[in-house]
């Protein structure tokens, strides 16, 4: 794997939740390439072990561990495995997260006729499912907080330890149709700053990356039509992105390595770093 630059993570233990996902997998490869011992945590053990096997086949060090980021006991068991095989955690990356259709409206705006129509396929604000909304909040916010509670215990008083959370463009300006996801990511940005202050006296830095719009296999159906052309929403995104294109997962690696590196960012704490092609800077005029 070609890195934008190399940092020395030899003998460092990195725990990454959601490590078998599209972005997480890319980060796993980069961290392993820098010499880290990477514990890949994922809800599905087979996916975590498959990714770990790929890393090991390339001569690097990784293990796959099953973990539910919403279950304290599951995280404790995962922690025990990491301690037994690698030792205490130096770097925690909270990559697990996601959205749910039950927390999403069908349209960007509410119209009067929407309230009069008897359309079962139409989900307005008033139809949003509370369990779906709770799931999104729990997965993103609690799914970040609980791993911090478990693995940050290893970091106290040890030099070079830090936490990286994953925020989103939604945290800066809420996107239409996805109120639950936008709110949950805003909570992560706020929590990142809170935790950075809270941990500042015990030597743990806490920062976050806010990815812009990436075109991946996970969201391709939302951003592309069946014939491969871009959807109307895609065109809106690109028109609001000064660089005029979608990002790629690999373009997040430089930000990740910078924030992790004690040599590069030892005085960087409590920031939410956009990697978005200028989206968050553009007012639309």
Confidence band of 237 (pLDDT split at 50, 70, 90): very high
pLDDT of residue 235: 93
For the segment 6-25, what is each residue's pLDDT rounded down to a tens digit? 999 999 999 999 999 999 99
Confidence band of 216 (pLDDT split at 50, 70, 90): confident
pLDDT of residue 140: 97
Determine the 3-state secondary structure of 215 from DSSP. Answer: coil
CA–CA distances in Å: residue 281 to residues 113, 191, 208 = 35, 22, 18
| pLDDT at position 119 over 90 | no
Q: What is the mean pLDDT of residues 117-126?
A: 88
- The residues that are catalytic are 181
DSSP string, 98-142: ---GGG--SSSS--HHHHH---TT---GGG--HHHHHHHHIIIII
Backbone torsions φ then ψ of 65, nearest 5 degrees? -135, 135
Confidence band of 57 (pLDDT split at 50, 70, 90): very high
State the residue for tokens 């920031």.
Answer: 271
Backbone torsions φ then ψ of 15, nearest 5 degrees? -110, 125
Tokens of 76: 């404790």
Q: How far apart are CA 166 and CA 273, in angstroms?
A: 10
Question: In this predicted model, which residue has the larger pLDDT, 134 or 220?
Answer: 134
| pLDDT at position 2 over 90 | no
Backbone torsions φ then ψ of 63, nearest 5 degrees? -135, 150
Q: How far apart are CA 250 and CA 51, in angstroms?
A: 17
Q: Is 48 left (phi over 0), alpha (psi -120 to 50) or beta?
A: alpha
Tell me the CATH architecture of domain 13-212+247-274: 3-Layer(aba) Sandwich (3.40)
- Beta carbons of 220 and 192 less than 8 angstroms apart: no
pLDDT of residue 285: 87
| pLDDT at position 69 over 80 | yes
pLDDT of residue 107: 94
For 250, other C-beta atoms within 10 Å of its C-beta total 17
Q: How far apart are CA 101 and CA 108, in angstroms?
A: 14
Question: In this predicted model, which residue has the larger pLDDT, 101 or 216?
Answer: 101
Question: H-helix or E-strand containing 235?
Answer: helix 232-239
State the residue for tokens 């290893």.
Answer: 154
pTM, whole model, 2 decimals? 0.95
Confidence band of 118 (pLDDT split at 50, 70, 90): confident
Q: How far apart are CA 266 and CA 269, in angstroms?
A: 8
The mean pLDDT value of the chain amounts to: 95
pLDDT of residue 223: 87
Kind of pairing between the strands at 162-166 and 205-211: parallel
């Amino acid at each position: 794997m070609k890195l934008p630059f190399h940092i020395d993570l030899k003998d460092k233990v990195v725990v990454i939740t959601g490590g078998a996902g599209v972005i997480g997998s890319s980060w796993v490869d980069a961290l392993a390439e820098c010499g880290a011992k990477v514990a890949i945590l994922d809800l599905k053990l087979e996916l975590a072990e498959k990714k770990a096997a790929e890393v090991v086949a390339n001569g690097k060090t990784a293990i796959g561990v099953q973990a539910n980021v919403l279950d304290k006991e599951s995280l404790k068991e995962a922690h025990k495995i990491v301690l037994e095989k690698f030792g205490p955690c130096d770097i925690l990356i909270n990559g697990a997260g996601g959205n749910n259709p039950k927390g999403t409206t069908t349209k960007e705006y509410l119209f009067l006729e929407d309230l009069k129509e008897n359309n079962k396929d139409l989900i307005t604000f008033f139809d949003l499912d509370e369990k779906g909304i709770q799931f999104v909040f729990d997965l993103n916010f609690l799914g970040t907080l609980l791993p911090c509670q478990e693995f940050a215990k290893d970091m106290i008083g040890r030099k070079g330890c830090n936490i990286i959370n994953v925020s989103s463009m939604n945290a800066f300006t809420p996107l239409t149709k996805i109120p639950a996801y936008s709110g949950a990511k805003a909570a992560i940005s706020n929590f990142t700053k809170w935790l950075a202050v809270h941990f500042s006296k015990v030597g743990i830095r806490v920062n976050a990356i806010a990815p812009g719009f990436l075109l991946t296999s996970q969201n391709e159906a939302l951003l592309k039509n069946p014939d491969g052309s871009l959807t109307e929403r895609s065109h809106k995104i690109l028109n609001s992105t000064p660089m005029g294109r979608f990002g790629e997962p690999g373009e997040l690696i430089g930000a990740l390595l910078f924030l992790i590196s004690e040599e590069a960012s030892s005085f960087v704490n409590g920031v939410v770093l956009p990697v978005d092609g200028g989206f968050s800077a553009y007012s639309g005029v």
